[in-house]
Chain A
Amino acid sequence: MQGVNSTVKAKVKYKKRHPSFASRFKSNLPLLLFVIPGAIWMIFFFYIPIFANVVAFQDFHFSAGGFLESLRTSSWVGFKNFEFLFSSNAAWVITRNTLLYNLGFIVLNLIISVFFAIVMSQLRNKRLIKVYQTSMLLPYFLSWVVISYFVYAFISPNQGLINSLLTGSGGKAISWYNAPQYWPFILLFIGTWKSIGYNSILYFASAMGVDPTLYEAAEIDGANKWQQIKHVTIPALVPLMTLMTILAIGNIFRADFGLFYQVPQNSGSLYNVTSVLDTYIFNGLTSTGDIGMSSAAALYQSFVGFVLLMISNAVVRKIDPDSALF
């Protein structure tokens, strides 16, 4: 009979038989091979580009000798690029536009899609819900190029439907692509309209996951429809709402390039209200050719985005650890 005395815990050293490194490596090899392609992609499309951000501190010029040669031959200028960026009016405008538009999207998306989701979850005819959902999803699946054609069909200065309605009723045609005062509304409307279908279906799925007996219990407790929604449905949606909002806040410095570039057709006279970080960086990179400035703007965007993501996650973790992203 062994191990009678459980208080004796001293470990008797016997022959060591650790699995060798080689055998361990061999048994992990197939799974290692599985991650290799993805890991290489991450190296080239994330880790090296992260390092390539040092060009923000350079007066960067492309050299035919490749990337390292370009880095070597470009001179270092310290924070000059940032100084130029922030002393220009553009930095203020693009930051303001990016933040305000995204804030608008976060609020509109949250309120409208949760509203639609709750409404859909309470409708009586299930087949109609399916029809609504399918229709609402369509814009989500289309590219910004196509959406910009949609917008163009309505507000084209010469053939657009709205202008011909305006002139038809005796009004004056509006040169939409040169009229900045309308664009904040157009952009907010289009951006929300495109994504609302997907978001509301997401919340709808979550709302349908609520245990129906909770509604039965609420009914028996005498809660009316609105009270049921307030005390049963909405609390069930809060975790998803939190998650989506953190993700959105983490991306608040990241504008939807297609919306701001393609829908206003990159019209110069609209820049004051349509120019956001992404379009500014793009224009700097491709047309004005000022790589230093646009890389400084890109690094500014990434850095602030990262900080915001960290802060919003920390705040959420403090309030409700289960809803935090990490």
Chain B
Amino acid sequence: MRQPKKQISSVEVRSFGHKSNLFFNILLAIFAFSCLLPLIFIIIISLTSEQSLLADGYQFFPKHWSLAGYEYLATMGGQLLNALGITVLVTVFGTLVNATFTSTYAYSISRSSFKYRKFFTVFCLITMLFTPGMVANYIVMTNLLQLKDTIWALILPLAVSPFNIIVMRTFFKRQVNESIIEAARIDGAGEMRIFLKIVLPLAVPGIATISLFAALGYWNDWFNALLYIQDSHLVPLQYLLMKIQSNIEMLTQNAAQGAQYAGGMANIPQEATRMAMVVISVLPIAISYPFFQKYFVKGLTIGGVKE
């Protein structure tokens, strides 16, 4: 309504007629709702009382509501907190490492004055053409690097993303004009200062994007834990969820190890607790991603793979 005239005309040209507009709105709304529905369902289950769950199964409109699942989680402490701690540590540290390594590599190969630029560009591109495969990676990780059952096994496999390097290289090339770097060189700035003072501030949107992707990758990672982690102290949240899914008794085993639950061992609300854990693991993402959405969307548009 308050848009300038020019925009209104372009919107008009791009728009459906009123009838088809309504039809397609309904269509999209149904699909969009289908994307939210399962999470809503899980939240409802986590708030359902155990008796209702056992009697009626999972229902959108349960007979009895209950916070027992969350109450039990709060007393559970130990394993859950530990898993959460591992996930947070791996996500924070891993994201930092990933963003640093990826952007420094990308920056170097974006600079036309870098003498070994061609070599390192090809060095990185080759890794995208061929994949070594799960077995070879497993052997190198466990047998050569001996990283099984260490926190590094959760961090290192995702520490660099060759694809993001190529994307960021294009981004640097577009965003940071070579002559700005030359001007800084004449002004007397060294490479480190050029990178930190001139290039980084210009690259914030790109670095934010790759960092968010990296953070998401670490937060959601369970595959590396599945392969490399047996030590229960190093189990991240997603892997814990996975283990509990196939073996719900893990919850009670954990309770037996220490925590006191008011309702007594037999009344542990297993189903609700499990779903409450899912909700806890999803919440940080579900709350934050709408704010970062524009960066995610930029992800593939900030730089085509090709120059």
A44 touches B140 (CB 8 A): yes
B24 touches A119 (CB 8 A): yes
A55 touches B192 (CB 8 A): no
B202 within 8 A of A: no
Task: Mark out the residues of chain A between 117 and 134 whose CB falls within 8 Å of any chain B CB in the assembled complex.
Answer: 119-126, 128, 131-134
A201 within 8 A of B: yes
B135 touches A291 (CB 8 A): yes
Contacts of B135 in A (CB 8 A): 53, 55-56, 281, 285, 291, 294-295, 298
B101 touches A48 (CB 8 A): no
B246 within 8 A of A: yes
Interface of chain A, main secondary structure: helix
Contacts of A62 in B (CB 8 A): 142-143
A139 within 8 A of B: yes
A136 touches B104 (CB 8 A): no
Docked Cα-Cα span, A149 to B280, in Å, equals: 13
Q: A32-B108, A135-B33 are in contact. Are A160 and B58 (CB under 8 A)?
A: yes
Given contacts A150-B39, A159-B53, 14 further A-B contacts (CB under 8 A): A46-B132, A49-B133, A119-B24, A120-B28, A122-B15, A123-B16, A134-B293, A135-B35, A136-B35, A145-B238, A145-B241, A152-B245, A281-B133, A285-B134
Docked Cα-Cα span, A134 to B195, in Å, equals: 34
A153 touches B285 (CB 8 A): no
B227 touches A286 (CB 8 A): yes
Q: A124-B15, A142-B220 are in contact. Are A265 and B246 (CB under 8 A)?
A: yes
A186 within 8 A of B: no
B45 within 8 A of A: yes
Smallest distance from the beta carbon of B277 to chain A beta carbons, Å? 9
Docked Cα-Cα span, A56 to B18, in Å, equals: 62
Smallest distance from the beta carbon of B73 to chain A beta carbons, Å? 15
Task: Mark out the residues of chain A between 253 and 304 whose CB falls within 8 Å of any chain B CB in the assembled complex.
Answer: 254, 257-258, 262, 265-266, 278, 281-282, 285-286, 291, 294-295, 298-299, 301-302
Smallest distance from the beta carbon of B176 to chain A beta carbons, Å? 13
B289 within 8 A of A: yes
Q: A38-B102, A41-B156, A70-B143 are in contact. Are A141 and B133 (CB under 8 A)?
A: no
Docked Cα-Cα span, A201 to B299, in Å, equals: 11
A262 touches B15 (CB 8 A): no
- Binding-face segment, A2-10, A23-31, A91-99: A23-31
Q: Which of B24, B111, B136, B296 sits near A55, CB closer than 8 Å?
A: B136
B177 within 8 A of A: no
Docked Cα-Cα span, A258 to B82, in Å, equals: 24
Smallest distance from the beta carbon of A34 to chain B beta carbons, Å? 4
Listed A/B pairs (27) with beta-carbon separation below 8 Å? A31-B107, A34-B107, A34-B195, A35-B116, A39-B120, A44-B140, A45-B157, A46-B126, A55-B139, A60-B139, A62-B142, A67-B143, A132-B32, A137-B293, A142-B285, A153-B38, A154-B58, A163-B57, A202-B301, A215-B13, A216-B13, A266-B246, A301-B131, A301-B133, A302-B130, A302-B133, A305-B130
B223 touches A123 (CB 8 A): no
- Please, how many residues of chain A have a CB less than 8 angstroms from a CB on the other chain? 105
B246 touches A34 (CB 8 A): no
A164 within 8 A of B: yes
A39 touches B245 (CB 8 A): no
B17 within 8 A of A: yes
A-facing mask of B2-26, CB < 8 A → 1, else 0?
A: 0000000111011111101100110
Docked Cα-Cα span, A24 to B45, in Å, equals: 66
B41 within 8 A of A: yes
B222 within 8 A of A: yes
Task: Mark out the residues of chain B between 114 and 170 whose CB falls within 8 Å of any chain A CB in the assembled complex.
Answer: 114-116, 120, 123-127, 129-140, 142-146, 156-157, 159-160, 162, 165
B108 touches A148 (CB 8 A): no
B191 touches A30 (CB 8 A): yes
Contacts of B143 in A (CB 8 A): 62-63, 66-67, 70
A125, A142, A206 — which one has the most chain B CB atoms within 10 A of its CB? Answer: A142
A123 touches B25 (CB 8 A): yes
Contacts of B216 in A (CB 8 A): 141
Closest to B138 in A: A285
Contacts of B109 in A (CB 8 A): 35
Smallest distance from the beta carbon of B65 to chain A beta carbons, Å? 16
Contacts of B139 in A (CB 8 A): 49, 52, 55, 60, 67, 70, 291
B93 within 8 A of A: no
Q: Which of A150, A205, A206, A309 sits near B38, CB closer than 8 Å?
A: A150
Q: Which of A126, A193, A285, A325 sits near B305, CB closer than 8 Å?
A: A325
